Structure formats: structure tokens, C-alpha cells
Amino acid sequence: MANIQEIARLAGVSTATVSRVINQHPYVSDLTRERVLKIIGQLDYVPNYNATSLKKGATRSIGIIAVDYNSLLMSLVRSFHTIAQQSGFNTMLFMTNGECSKELVALEMLRSRQLDALFCLVRTNEWNIIESYTRYGPIVTWQRLTSDSIPSVFMDQYQGYMLSLEYLYSKGYRKILNVFSSKGLNTLERIRAYRDFIQMHGLKDSGFPQFHNKMSIYDGEEIAQWWIKQTDKPEAISCSTDEVAAGILMELQRAGFTVPDDVGIMGFDNTDIAHLLDLTTIHYPVDKQAENAFAVIKSMLDQSVPKLHSLAFNLIERRST
Amino acid sequence: MANIQEIARLAGVSTATVSRVINQHPYVSDLTRERVLKIIGQLDYVPNYNATSLKKGATRSIGIIAVDYNSLLMSLVRSFHTIAQQSGFNTMLFMTNGECSKELVALEMLRSRQLDALFCLVRTNEWNIIESYTRYGPIVTWQRLTSDSIPSVFMDQYQGYMLSLEYLYSKGYRKILNVFSSKGLNTLERIRAYRDFIQMHGLKDSGFPQFHNKMSIYDGEEIAQWWIKQTDKPEAISCSTDEVAAGILMELQRAGFTVPDDVGIMGFDNTDIAHLLDLTTIHYPVDKQAENAFAVIKSMLDQSVPKLHSLAFNLIERRST
DNA sequence: TTGTATGCGTTATCAC
DNA sequence: GTGATAACGCATACAA
């Protein structure tokens, strides 16, 4: 494979000049530039990126960490990739599948300078582990987290969940079942929203069990089975994700129930499946969150001040409520 | 950041010895090894991977190219990642979203030695473009392709589609509508399977229009609308993907029709959504395909002979037929 | 506007 | 067993 020296030799210039041409430096005469570019073209030469990275001390690539995929996360990934690309950064996606070791692969790549930064959508390892890697480069998360070494671009789920609950209330639902996802600060905020909600409207607590750690279609199916067995049934179910809502809806329909006549169902995230099944849900601007994440990383990389979007939730009314 | 020289200095040895320790070479006395490892630990030292890659002329990382995500592709990605990791290779995922430029990012990374090889699940650029990059490293695809520079781990869709059609026939369906996906060799094989199928059973061609390039939920919804309008309706619909089948099913149910009483629907791929909606579908071993892909790449990288799995289709009967 | 020389952090080939 | 030292391919400070 051709290298910069060969180009220099063939073009009858020094490697420094070739390098200048490649990096679009000023102060190269048009004539020599032409000549160098011609040889580069002829030899199909590309700079060895490993050498460049070594020399520059940066790779201009950013890792994105997720546990698994779903349409919401993929929108985030897509937006982040696009905005990063515009600033000349590549992204690489790490799907940890919930395995700590897979997440550590990404973390270690940051440590060994293969990555300049990390955007951690959903973590697997404990925060203190991840935090210990911030000394090797910027790490920004999408999850709710209060840390001074790991900035977060989360959106306050309290507001979003309250929006959902208030809407259900306005439609006349009173006995509401909450389905929460993984135990994190987001969930705590949603719980707080529910507490405030029943207090504000002078409702008494439903006495329904707490569903936690439910986020998949399969979880939804289980919850539907629970619902079917109850004598004192919830009038509406406010779900952690559209997937859970989808699972509930389909399982209930299979069992002969009708939505929203028998029970109202609210999704969350406004993903494709919510559209497919006509689920009322909560939309929020993940694209802006992705852009904010990149802005924060960029600013940490070149110690500037980030310019951020402000963010808001939105209710999408469909036919499940 | 600490480098190998600093470690050498502090341990009172040469960089060569440190390198030997790091790379687990034999012929290092236990005593010096201890001493070096201790300093490495103290300074939290990691080799700069860019330097290693530069020196070795390889990065031990492989790119995976996909257009978008769905559960089928993600199973492939997951399996490939896992098997690659076991051999000490990292993977990076490129979601092209159908944009040629995004795919070129991956291709160019191969060219500039950031990647040792590529696993192209679904291409975006023309094959001849992709083919021109094979001189920079192994490229293996999951799509059906006959090329001597790009090996493929596809499965013969003729068999799979025939399995679907024969099953429908056995259930008594005769007037079958085909929904095909993007115009590729896979689709051609499915078309061929259908031709052979009607001929084998002495059926006459349905005269239904050809649906091509249909692969999403939304496409399915459109097809459902078409179905509703027909007077001479297909008795069954054999779909290109589970997503299409899902779109059709839900749209028909919204319009008051019943599946499988009014029409039978077959999915393809056996993804999560097929489970969710109880779709009869065709399963096939993507995990084995991923392992084959890696085996081929590995063998091209160290010019050995790959050991491959043999592969077969499987029908999953559910309630949509 | 161009060239020389040096260093980025490793690995590997010698020699000892 | 261990240590010099020469690459790997590029970018840049300094000279000219």
C-alpha cells in the first residue's frame, strides 16, 4: 500500500508538502498541489488513519452505548450519528445486550484511545464504574443522572408522565394502573408524578400492585393476564413503554376484551408500534436530545460552551383511550 | 497519559521488555514481569491502540453494515458480534438508513485501515462500488450475490418461500397474493418459487397485481386497503416480512375483518412482532449465518479454510392462517 | 512556498 | 532473559 513517502518521491516533493496538500493547508502553490493530487489519484492513496490518529492523539470517533434496540433508541442513534457526521466525527454503535463485559469493550476503547468520547444511552455497569472512565474522555448519558463528571441530556419524566395521567383524568378515568420500567431515576420521577397526581385530584390510592421492570411486549402480555384475573379492575393502564402497551392490548384482544371500552391503555415514547396499534402515547423530541448530547461532547472535547435546544413533551391521542 | 517508555523507566527495564510483558511473550523472568505489571497497575497504563494498530497493520475490528434495524437484523448483529468477540475482534455497526454516503463511511474506513473487514448485511451502494473496495480487505455479505470477490452467507429463499406456499396449499388456500420486498436476487428466487408452485399444483395464475418493494408496517397497511377494495379477493397473503404481515393484519382488523377467517396471512423471518400478533411465519437460523460470515472473514484474513454450518428453514404455525 | 528533522507509542529484529 | 534500535505512516515546528 502506498504511503506518504512514496507519493512525495513520485511527485518530487517532501512528505511535508504532501501532508499539507492532504490537510488542505494554505501556502501550497497551485502547481505542486496539482502534481501531488495527481499522483495521489494515480496510486489510489489514502492516509493511514491509525497513523493520523496516533499523531493527532484523537480518532474523531465516538461510541454509542445501548442495551438493546427499539425504535426510540434507534431514532436517537440516527440523529446522533447524523449530527456527529456533520462535524466530521464517526460513530460506532455498541449493543451491550445487558452484558457488562460488552459495555466494558466500549469503555476500554475509550481508555485505549480508539474512541474520543462516549454517548451512553442506557448503561449496564454501575454508574461508579462508568464514572471511573471519564478521566479518559467525555461520557454523556441519555439516562437521568446527577453527576458532575457525566452530563446527561435526559428529559424530566415527571412532566411527561404527568401529561399522561392528566390526560387520562380528563377522559374520565379514575382507577389507573401504573406500569414502570427499570428502577432508575426516571422511574422515581414517574412515581413521584403519580403521587402528586392522586393528591392533586383528591383520589385515593388504587391499591393495585406496583409493576416494576416491565418494558417489553412479553411483560405487557403478563400484565394483561393479571388484569383479566382481577375482579376490581383498573379502568386505565399507563405504561412505561409502547411495547408494554402493545403487549397488553394484543393479549386482551386475544382474550376477547375491547380497548378502550373495557380498559384504556396509554403507551409512552410514540414509536412505530404505537402507530401500528393506534395507541395513545407521549411523544418527545429524541432528535433534539441527540443533538444536545453531541453538543455537550463537542464542547467538552474543545472546552467551549455548548449551545443547547430546549425540550418539551407532547401527547399523541389515538384510539386506545 | 503514561506510555510504554515511562513504564520502562520506572520499572528499570527497557521498552522491549515492557512490550513483552504486555503481549504475554515467554522468556521474561517472573521477577521482572511482576515488577513491570506492578508499575502498569500503579500508573493505570493501557497501550495506545492506535500505535499498536499502526505497527501491526491491523485493527482487529470489523464493520457491520445495515440499512436499518429490525429484530431479524439485530439477531444477526448480535450473533456476529458475539462470535467475533470470542476471537478477539471488535465490531462496529453502521446504520446507513439507505444513504450511500453513510455506507461509504464504512467502506472508506476499510480503505484507511480503521477496519480489517466488513460484514455487509444489506447494501445501499451498487455492488460494483462495494466490490471495488474488496482490494482493501475482506467484505462478506448476507444478501444473495454471486461474486467471486464478495462471498455471501445467504440462504436460498426459494426453499423458504416454497415452504410457505406449500403450507398455505396444505391448509386449503388456493388464491394466493404474493408480497415481495426489494428487487434483489432473493426476490427473484421467491418469484421463481411461486411460478414453480402454481405449475406443480396445476393452479392458474391469480391475476393479482405484483406487489414489490414492500417491507414495512406501512406498506402492509396499504396492501390491506387494496385488499379491502377488491371484489375477487385473495384467500391468503404470503408476505415478504413479518412487518408487512403485521401491517395488513392490523389494518384489516381495524376495518372489521377477521384473520384467518376472511384471509390467511403468512409472515416471514419469525421476528418478535410475529410472536406479538400470532403470525404464522418462516424461521431460519440467522445465528448460524452470522457465524458463517465471521468464519469466512477470519479465513480470508489469515488465508485458512473456513468451517461452515449447514442451514435450513423452519415453519412456525400460529393463528394467522 | 517548501524542505528537514523530530516525535507520536508501539512492536520486532537483532545483538548480547 | 534482556536491551538497543529501527521501523510503522503521518504531522508539524522550525529553517530556509
With cell 453527576, the residue in question is: A147
A222 shares contact with chain B (CB less than 8 Å): no
Task: Compute the average pLDDT of residues B3-18.
Answer: 94
B77 shares contact with chain A (CB less than 8 Å): yes
Q: Which domain holds residue A143?
A: 59-155+287-310
* Contact (CB, 8 A) for A176 and A168: yes
* Shared-domain flag, residues B267 and B162: yes
* Shared-domain flag, residues A167 and A148: no
- Residue B63 banded pLDDT, cuts 50, 70, 90: very high
Residue A144 belongs to a domain with what CATH number?
A: 3.40.50.2300
pLDDT (tens digit per residue) in B22-31: 999 988 999 9
| Nucleic strand D under 7 Å from the C-beta of B23 | no
* Shared-domain flag, residues B293 and B145: yes
A49 shares contact with chain B (CB less than 8 Å): yes
Question: Which residue of chain B has the CA closest to A86?
Answer: B102
pLDDT at A303 over 90: no
- Which residue blocks in chain A are alpha helix, DSSP H? 4-11, 15-22, 30-43, 49-56, 71-86, 100-111, 127-131, 157-170, 185-200, 217-229, 242-254, 272-276, 286-301
Neighbours of A225 (CB within 10 A): 13
With cell 505497527, the residue in question is: B55
> Which residues of A are less than 8 Å from B114 in CB distance?
49-50
* Shared-domain flag, residues A130 and A65: yes
| Nucleic strand D under 7 Å from the C-beta of A22 | yes
Determine, for residues A276 and B246 on separate chains, whether the beta-carbon distance falls below 8 Å.
Answer: yes
Determine, for residues B81 and A95 on separate chains, whether the beta-carbon distance falls below 8 Å.
Answer: yes
* Shared-domain flag, residues A174 and A30: no
> Which residues of B are less than 8 Å from A45 in CB distance?
none
pLDDT of residue A144: 85
pLDDT at A205 over 90: no
Task: Compute the average pLDDT of residues A100-129.
Answer: 96
Whose C1' is closest to the CA of B25: which nucleotide?
A: D1
Q: Is residue A128 part of a domain?
A: yes
- Residue B186 banded pLDDT, cuts 50, 70, 90: confident
**Of the candidates B257, B256, B186, B176, the residue with the CA atom closest to the CA atom of residue B215:** B186
pLDDT at B268 over 90: yes
pLDDT of residue A173: 96
Task: Compute the average pLDDT of residues B244-263.
Answer: 95
* Contact (CB, 8 A) for A107 and B90: no
* Shared-domain flag, residues B135 and B146: yes
- Specify which residue's alpha carbon is closest to the C1' of nucleotide D9: A51
pLDDT of residue B207: 85
Task: Compute the average pLDDT of residues A275-291.
Answer: 95
- Residue A210 banded pLDDT, cuts 50, 70, 90: confident
Question: Which residue of chain A has the CA closest to B51?
Answer: A54
> Which residues of A are less than 8 Å from B107 in CB distance?
none
pLDDT at B71 over 80: no
Determine, for residues A48 and B54 on separate chains, whether the beta-carbon distance falls below 8 Å.
Answer: yes
* Shared-domain flag, residues A42 and A128: no
Determine, for residues B95 and A77 on separate chains, whether the beta-carbon distance falls below 8 Å.
Answer: yes
- Residue B222 banded pLDDT, cuts 50, 70, 90: very high
Chain B nearest-CA distance from A129, in A, is 15
Q: What percent of chain A has pLDDT over 90?
A: 83
pLDDT of residue B272: 87
pLDDT of residue A182: 80
Separation between the CA of A73 and the C1’ of C1 (whole angstroms):
51
* Contact (CB, 8 A) for A182 and A189: no
**Of the candidates A269, A272, A282, the residue with the CA atom closest to the CA atom of residue A321:** A282
Pick the more confident residue, B238 or A144.
B238
Q: Is residue B52 part of a domain?
A: no
**Of the candidates B214, B284, B283, the residue with the CA atom closest to the CA atom of residue B247:** B214
Determine, for residues B247 and A276 on separate chains, whether the beta-carbon distance falls below 8 Å.
Answer: yes
For A276, the closest of B95, B112, B250 (CB atoms) is B250
Instruction: Please report how the helices A100-111 and B71-86 are oriented relative to each other, as an axis angle in degrees rounded to 10.
Output: 70
How high does pLDDT run on average in chain A?
A: 93
Task: Compute the average pLDDT of residues B118-142.
Answer: 96
Domain total in chain B: 3
- Specify which residue's alpha carbon is closest to the C1' of nucleotide C13: B16
* Shared-domain flag, residues A66 and A80: yes
pLDDT of residue B204: 86
Chain A nearest-CA distance from B49, in A, is 5
Q: Is residue A318 part of a domain?
A: no
Q: Is residue B24 part of a domain?
A: yes
pLDDT (tens digit per residue) in A17-28: 999 999 999 889
- Residue A183 banded pLDDT, cuts 50, 70, 90: confident
pLDDT at A74 over 80: yes
- Residue B145 banded pLDDT, cuts 50, 70, 90: confident
Residue B11 corresponds to which cell in the numbers above? 520499572
- D chain positions with any atom within 7 Å of a protein CB: 1-13
Chain B nearest-CA distance from A6, in A, is 16
pLDDT of residue B195: 94
pLDDT of residue A237: 97
* Contact (CB, 8 A) for B60 and B47: no
Q: Is residue B30 part of a domain?
A: yes
* Shared-domain flag, residues B221 and B279: yes
- C chain positions with any atom within 7 Å of a protein CB: 1-5, 7-13
| Nucleic strand C under 7 Å from the C-beta of B184 | no
Determine, for residues A54 and B59 on separate chains, whether the beta-carbon distance falls below 8 Å.
Answer: no
Q: Which of A10-14, A53-57, B94-98 has the lowest mean pLDDT?
A: B94-98
* Shared-domain flag, residues B166 and B128: no
> Which residues of B are less than 8 Å from A68 in CB distance?
74
Separation between the CA of A121 and the C1’ of D10 (whole angstroms):
35
- Residue B123 banded pLDDT, cuts 50, 70, 90: very high
pLDDT of residue A274: 94
pLDDT of residue B158: 92
For A113, the closest of B48, B108, B113 (CB atoms) is B48
Residue A25 belongs to a domain with what CATH number?
A: 1.10.260.40
Length of chain A: 321
- Residue B115 banded pLDDT, cuts 50, 70, 90: very high
With cell 386505565, the residue in question is: A236
Task: Compute the average pLDDT of residues B113-129.
Answer: 96
> Which residues of B are less than 8 Å from A113 in CB distance?
48-50
Dihedral (Cα; B269, B271, B273, B274), 10-degree rounding: 50
How high does pLDDT run on average in chain B?
A: 93
> Which residues of A are less than 8 Å from B81 in CB distance?
95, 102
Q: Please, which residues have CB within 8 angstroms of residue B172's CB and are 6 or more apart in sequence?
A: none
pLDDT at A70 over 90: no
* Shared-domain flag, residues B172 and B32: no
- Specify which residue's alpha carbon is closest to the C1' of nucleotide C8: A55
Determine, for residues B95 and A108 on separate chains, whether the beta-carbon distance falls below 8 Å.
Answer: no
Q: Is residue B319 part of a domain?
A: no
Pick the more confident residue, B294 or B271.
B294
Chain B nearest-CA distance from A200, in A, is 37
* Shared-domain flag, residues A161 and A133: no
Residue B172 in 3-state DSSP? coil
CA angle A285/A263/A72 to nearest 5° reads 20
Query: Burial, A303: exposed, middle or buried (Cβ in 10 Å; 0-12, 13-18, 19+)?
Result: exposed
Q: Which of B40, B50, B60, B100 to mutate to test the interface with A (most CBs of A within 10 A)?
A: B50
| Nucleic strand D under 7 Å from the C-beta of A53 | no
Whose C1' is closest to the CA of B55: which nucleotide?
A: D8
Determine, for residues B49 and A109 on separate chains, whether the beta-carbon distance falls below 8 Å.
Answer: yes
Q: Is residue A262 part of a domain?
A: yes
Q: What percent of chain B has pLDDT over 90?
A: 82
pLDDT (tens digit per residue) in B18-51: 999 999 998 899 999 999 999 999 999 999 999 9
Residues 236-295 in B contacting A (C-alpha not used; CB under 8 Å)? 246-247, 250, 254, 272-273, 275-278
Residues 98-117 in B contacting A (C-alpha not used; CB under 8 Å)? 102, 105, 108-109, 111-114
Q: Is residue B53 part of a domain?
A: no
Task: Compute the average pLDDT of residues A113-126.
Answer: 96
Separation between the CA of A50 and the C1’ of D1 (whole angstroms):
32
